[in-house]
Structure formats: structure tokens, C-alpha cells
Chains A and B, each alone.
Chain A
């Protein structure tokens, strides 16, 4: 036996151990590597075995040659069958007629399977392939017709097969204009930009098609994609070609033969005659590529497409001359048709099955987080509608922005630049841009009105700015505000989405997330001073937070996923509030999600321009307490935050009443046992963001503050910095008294 390296020796041993295999022999190849020959028992069913072959021509024993390259296992062995093996079966790799027949036994890469599952699996697949070939079960047309293999093409055309197949002209060639580019050595070519073409070729069209333009080291030409349509066979239409055949076209002669076999011979001949006729009056210095397609009608639609027509496409290089342009020996190379970039393709590649687009998305803030989220969304085939940012690029943006430095312009606006790049995903259709402050955006302007008046639109605020949040909170539009930002130098993040009718609002939800952050020990005072900033220029304005791009991406990925879910499912009825904790390993992200019901507004009794908002969580707790004490007044302590600037009090939660509290039918007396300690603890954990705000108690009837309540409120005045609230839970809603002192 030939001397083998250890890996090949193993491979041969494993082949010998396969139950279907006998008579293994090894032969050295002159140029290195070996050919291992083995007899495979094809496990033919009894009747066919006795007859000597299956109806598809598979014999009881088939001899398989495995060609092991000299650098095995860096490359995989290639199995081949006898040259007269039935070539009309599916799953046969391209080869020349008369050569040994190479079965395609592995879906995907053989080399990957070799290294993931071992060489034995390759043998097993050959055995399975032969069994299936015998029973004509190599293919399951359930998912559709499997197109001819185009594994190792060097020529590509970006075209939508379904679109081309819609307009076929039986027995004729249909011409489309396309651009083709190729390098001088002609090793590869790429075609794109299909447009309607002339009905026939004219000398001037051909002259244009052979006028080559140089772009750097590439040739570019406005060439043709010629679709040869099969002749119609009476009312039944073109003939159906339901036999598989390996691609054996290598020159124009082979192509003509194939065209005749699939019913496209007449169309190809007409085009060739047209080309020859007009070539006489055109002179050309060099050959240029054209793509010729045979539209082959299959018995069912192609896998993943709607059309029954398979466009078998080849590149042929032509040079106008006297006499035949397309000579028999002109090389013809298979062209891989690639689906043009489209939202549908992006969604397909993203594994998104629905075609419905249930929301529109806009962004305020096109910085590091916003640009990443927008990119995630665009890559899944959803185009943001509106981008708002008044900021320009500075060099330090290269640290975290989704755009590359080459895509920045010196004085580029972030929204504008991002819109330009996002447009590339959508045939140049860019989001509408507003490159000034959101506060100046004219919501009624027709450019923006469609988005902002759409109740199925979500405006994602990634500015991290309190002032922007408050502005959006009160801005008069119907689109819901979504917000995402990082906190605590990137170790935490929040994401919120307003509920139906913009209730709970974006500020309500932020207050809710503060409470959830507090509960989880994540609420921190904002970092101030030099520890939390990085100077990126001269001047107090030129600072930014130190944070890695990866840190932002951890959060951007989650927000992007949420946005995609909204595109698929639509906006939920309830508000959403999520907090994320980035692990100390700086790579784990844990999100906690809350669905948040409507916020209740308390009527402030002696109105002094304060508003009191009772968030869902606090409301539920008070309702539960009241339900537990139906015949007496009950109460407790309210916690939350106060915006003195807006004169707004937000109640996020309530603390239980101390045990010495007294509940009576007409009064509730808040006890004191342990209360100070609990309030101190809360205020401490509230980090100056949340604190104890006052008291609440229930009224059994629908009436507001009693004289006792007013007296208590007055007594409380000044006990809590800023403002103190006395909240009354009524059967029909809330009343409140607010006492401020600054």
C-alpha cells in the first residue's frame, strides 16, 4: 500500500469500517495526494437489485473514488462516480461530459463538515446519496425547484429573478441594459443596475455597449443582459424542463446546445443574428462582456422565489466584427444571479418573516447610541423616517459613532451624514433630516407632520438630555416617545416607550425606571467633575464621557432588537420601562422589563400651578391597601421626585404605614414607629433623585381634602425640601395638596 500520512491513514481506516463499503484500494497520484477507491453497497431494494439497477440507473454496487489532496485535511476529499453515471439526477456538481461524475453529497461546505463531524460523515453522506439516487429521492420539490449549482462563480449579476421572469417574450430575446465592470485580466465581473433595454440591438446601441470607461483599475461598460425566452408550446405555454442536468456549458457551442434542449434555441439564434447584423457597422478596440440568460421553465417555483423560470445565465465576451461575433469556441462562464439589495432581502437575511411594517421610527439624537440603533434597524430592512440632531462631527466621534471617519465630513451634521449612509440601504431613499435642535422642529410642517401625527410612530430619544425629554413630554404630537440612554458611565442603561395615547409619558417612565434602578442598587448621582469626563478639545464645552464603543453596542443591540420587534408586532397598549445592568465582566447585559399602566393625575386642590402624577406602581399599591381596608381610611408615605423647574411631582411608589398608625372611618393617623429610619433609608438609596415626598391616605367618599388635611399639609410645609405633598386616594381618583418652600 502507498505510504500515507497519519491523517490519510485514519481516513482510509474509517472508510474500511463503513458498513456499506468494501474493496478499498489506495493509489498515489503523480502530483501528490491519493485516490482512494471503494465499492459502496447502494442497498438497492430487492426487485431492482435483482434487475441489476434502479430505474435511475444506480447499480447494486457503485465504485466511488475519493480524491484526497496532498494537504488533506486542510482540503476535503472529493468523491466521484463512474463517468456513465446518470447525469440527469439532481445534486450533481458541475463537470464536463465524459468526466467522472461528482455527486454533491453535502449541503454547505464539505470542508466544514469534515472538521465538525469527521471524515466518516462524508462517507456516510455518499452512502445516503447513492441510496437516495437509486430511489430518485435526491430532491424534495416541496420547498420548490432547486436551481442549478453556482458554487464557484467569478461572475455576478445583481438582478431580481422574479421581476425578470414576469416579462418574458416567448421565442425572443429580451434585452436589459446593465452596467458591467471587470478588471483587465477579466478574472471576475460584476453586473448591476438593470434597466429597460431596446427591443432589438441597433448599431448605436452596440457602439455604446462597447465604449469602455476606465475607473481606476476597472473597466466599466453599459452592457446588456439578454434573456432568451422559450418558445410557447400552444396554450400550454413553454415546455416544462423537469430534468436536472449538471452545468456543462463552457463555450458558446455548449450554450447553443443547452438552449435547444430547454426550448430557448430560437431566441438565442435571433439575438445572435441581430448581433452579427449590427456588428458590421461598429468598430471596437476590445472585447466586452455581455450576460446571456436562458429562461428555463421548471415544473414548480424555484426555492425562495415565486417564479417557475430559472435564469441560467452565462458571461460571453463579444467584440463587434465582420462575420459571426459569437463563435462556437467563445468561452461561456456561468454567472451567479444575486438578489439586489432591498428591504425584502435585508429582512430575509435577518430572519424576519413578516412583510408587514407596523410602525415608523424616528430618532432624536444621532450620536453613538442613536446611530447604532438606526443601523441595526436599517440592516433589517426598516428605514428610519426622521433623524434629528443639531450636532456636528468632531474627531473623537470616531471612538463610538456607527459611521467611519471616511464617512464624516469636516463640518458634517450627524443627522445628515447618517441619513446619507442609511439611504444606501434603500436605493438612495434617505430619512427626513432636521439638523437643528428638536425644540425648533416645526411639527406641523408637511415634511414632518405625517410622522409626528402618526400614533403608530415611535420617536427614539437617545440624547440622554433631561431638557429634551421634558420638551418631548409636552410637545404636541401623537407619535410615542421611546428613550434609551446609558447611565453610571456605561454600567447601566434604561429604555422606555410611552403607552397608548402617550400615557404613561416619557418622563413618567423615566421616574419609574429611577425607582427600579434604586431597587436594584443601580441608582447613582450623576458623575460630576473630572473623573467622569474626557477633554476632547479646548473649552468647557468640549468634553465627553469615557466609554468604549463595545459598551455602547451592548445597549444599542438590545434597543435595536426592541425596535425590530415593534416593527414586526406594532406598539403595545401599555408603556414599557426596561433597565439594563452591565456586568462587572463588562460584557454581560441583564435587562429587566416592566409593562407600565396609565399614570393618574391628581387634582391639586388649592391650585398653585403644581401637578401631581401618580404612577401605575404606586396606584396599584394604594388600590390594594384600600381594598384591604374597605370600611376605614388607610394611608402611608409617598415617594418619588419633584421637578421644581416644571412644578411637577411624580409619585413612583408608596411605603407602608408604620404599625402604630390608626385607621378609622373618618380619619387616618400616620404613626411614627420606625418611620424616620425607613424614610432615611429610602432617601439615602434615592441618591437625591428620589425621596420621600409626603403622605397619602384614602377617603371612603368622593370628596377632596378635609380641614384636617389642610391643617396637616400646612404643618408639613417645610419639613421636606422643595415641596411636600398630601395625596388623597378617592373612589373616583386622586386629590392632592402641595406645600412648597424654597
Chain B
């Protein structure tokens, strides 16, 4: 099938679905709010895209949680099955979504601290990830529904015994649910393992998100689209990324960037936007890390509508910076809350083509069909 990447309109939050050529699905974060005025039913949108297993249960092959903040895991307990598959309740309507394999940051091994007050959904993720890790420790790699991959090492050797389910910084993932994928890989750039306690505290403060650079291929082009996805990683993290990779910028290059932290100014600068406004300065290194845009690169801000005000995120100044990066690459900038329009928010879907990203065109309110004069069905084909 044609690979696709869909950004769901979830305001200041993240929710992205990757469909690979093999048909495997990777869901990055969720922010499923109660649908209502101005809030789209993205859980329904997601279910419409998912396959169901032989028991009719919808599933994602992989769910990646970049970090356990509420705007990245909201709706987990309500919409997803957690716990062993033997406990699945087929009577739920709609049926809960099975996560065949979890890709989790090592934060699950840490206790909640004042930096990490965990929501119910975050606790549920941690609990489920720990259940799966425990099963691995007991029985080795589990079956779908029990699988887990831990993204990055934790300090104090807490993850040293994870062996086959641990992916370390700078390592590449090539399997989904244990199956090798010809046109897919994901390079783990963060979380980074701190050298000492001081750095660890620093990294934690800067939202130690998972950063993955996904390569999504099609046909004979395995690197058709590189998709850099960095959760809420902030300026300190990006500066460190630049320091690590400035001699090998390939690992930071992208055709598609999800702006970290909902187009937040703190991704690009140490200064406070609300205090300094236009005087605030961009961190050259963070910008360098985030501007390795390949020709035609597309930058998507998954955030509320970006306005020229004090609010951050999303920040108008960050948007301008990203627009400039996109322009340099002859690419485009998109905001999930403005597609199709602020009043008619729809999932923003790109097809992966050998020539990069191709937007799946949508038309407003069925204009096309009425214009085509096919509203009441076409004429039957006759033979004589």
C-alpha cells in the first residue's frame, strides 16, 4: 500500500499516524479530547484508519509515547486496551484499540517527581509498559499485545538487563512487532543518557522527549521521506543534538518535521517570548539542529491556531522561524488547527511518494461531487 502520514487536529498536543508500505501502523502520541464545539472526534478518525484483527479488534502495530505529558497521552485509558489481551472486553462500544507493541521512553522507570506529575493516562501507560517489561524479564520477547521496546537507556543501569527490547541512542530500529520492514527504519536520537546528575537534571527540565528520525520508503526508494519527530524536546536538547551531530548532519535531515512542543519558542530560544517578545533571540545551535531541511521539506505545527500574541506555545515568532526554514528549502509550513480551515479542522494526510511527500487533497463540503454533476449517480453504461 501507499505509505501515509496523518496529523490529527488535536490543538496543542500531538497525534500522528504513520502507515508503512507493509501496512504496519505506528501511532505517535495521542491527545484525544472529548469531541464537541471546535473539537474533532479524532478517536473516530483514528479507528476509521485502523485495521482489525481476526477477532474484529482494532489495533495499532506500534504506539510511540514521546513523553508522558497529558497532551501526548490523553485518552489512553478511554480508547486503548491496557493489560493482557486475555482481559480484552469485546462488548465495549466502540471496541478499544489494541497496542501490539509499545515504544516507550525509559521515564517509566522513574518515580514521579516534581518535574513529572503524572496524569492518570500517563500512569496507565507506565503501568502497562512495566507489565510488558516484567513479562519480558520473565519470559523473553512477548507476543503481540505484550511487546514493548524501551527507547534509550536510563541512568544507574536501570535498563541494562533489557537486552533485546532496549534501543540505545543512535541505534536504528528496523522491525515492527518483530517483523523486519524493507521500507522503514527509525533512528533514535533521544532521550540522551546524561553524563552526570547535573546534566540529568538539566535534561529532565527540558522535557526529555523521545526524538526519532523515521525513514519511510516506498518502492525502490527507502529514504523517500525522513520524518523528524521530537515530542516536546526543548532548546537544551536541540543544542546538544547539534553538538553531537553537526559533523554528520544527515541524521538530523528531514523531509517532514513536526515542530517540537507545538511550535513553542522554547524549542528555539532560551529567552521568554512573553517577556521579551521581538527582542528574544534564537539559539543558533538549536535552529541549526532543526533546520536540516531537505529540498521541499514540509514543517507541521501540531498546535492551536498560531496568533500574533503573547501566547507560547504556539508562538508566532517560532512559526516565522519555521516558515523561513521551509522557504529556504522551497517547502511548506502547515498548522494542524488551520487545515482545512480553523472552523473545519480535518486530519492532514500526506502520501509518501518516491518524490517525497504528496498531500492527499481534500475538497470542502463535497464541492467536487456536486460540480461533477454526479450527485444523483452517473448514467448507467449501456451496450448495444
Contacts and interface: CB of A to CB of B under 8 A. Distances in A.
B203 interface: no
A44 B296 CA distance: 10
A50 B373 CA distance: 35
A17 B296 contact: no
B378 interface: yes
A46 B296 contact: yes
Contact of B331 (A50, A55, A116): A50
14 contacts: A14-B371, A19-B361, A19-B363, A43-B361, A45-B358, A46-B298, A49-B356, A50-B297, A115-B379, A116-B379, A117-B379, A118-B373, A121-B374, A124-B372
Given A116-B378, A118-B372, A45 B356 contact: yes
Interface residues of A, number: 25
A49 B330 contact: yes
A250 to B, nearest CB: 35
A260 interface: no
Interface of A: 14, 17-20, 43-51, 54-55, 115-118, 120-121, 124, 134-135
A117 B376 CA distance: 11
B197 to A, nearest CB: 43
B296 A49 contact: yes
A48 B355 contact: yes
Contacts of B331: 46, 50
Interface string B297-334: 11000000000000000000000000000000111100
Closest 4 CB pairs of A and B: A50-B296, A47-B356, A45-B355, A46-B296
Contact of A46 (B355, B373, B381): B355
Given A17-B367, A121-B372, 13 more contacts: A17-B368, A18-B368, A19-B363, A44-B358, A45-B353, A46-B358, A48-B296, A48-B355, A49-B355, A50-B296, A50-B330, A51-B295, A121-B374
Interface string B326-355: 000111100000000000000000010111
Given A135-B354, A135-B355, A46 B255 contact: yes
Nearest to A108: B381
Nearest to A15: B371
Contact of B359 (A18, A43, A50, A120): A43
B216 interface: no
A117 B374 contact: yes
A228 B379 CA distance: 46
A55 B221 CA distance: 13
A177 to B, nearest CB: 37
Given A19-B368, A50-B330, A118-B373, A45 B361 contact: no
Nearest to B368: A19
B357 interface: yes
B294 interface: yes
B367 A46 contact: no
A46 B361 contact: no
Contacts of B378: 116-117
A645 B378 CA distance: 63
Given A116-B381, A135-B353, A47 B295 contact: yes
Nearest to A121: B372
A61 to B, nearest CB: 14
A560 to B, nearest CB: 18
A76 to B, nearest CB: 15
Contacts of B381: 116
Contact of B371 (A44, A45, A120): A120
A134 B355 contact: yes
A287 B326 CA distance: 67
Contacts of B356: 45-50
A45 B332 CA distance: 12
A45, A49, A115, A117: residue with the most chain B Cβ atoms closer than 10 Å: A45
A134 B371 CA distance: 26
Nearest to B297: A46
Interface string B256-289: 0000000000000000000000000000000000
A44, A49, A121: residue with the most chain B Cβ atoms closer than 10 Å: A49
Nearest to A117: B378
B187 to A, nearest CB: 19
A116 B358 CA distance: 30
A47 B373 contact: no
Nearest to A52: B330
A19 B33 CA distance: 32
Given A17-B367, A46-B355, A50-B331, A120 B373 contact: yes
A19, A50, A134: residue with the most chain B Cβ atoms closer than 10 Å: A50
A18 B331 CA distance: 23
A46 B293 CA distance: 11
B44 to A, nearest CB: 25
A50 B354 contact: no
B20 to A, nearest CB: 17
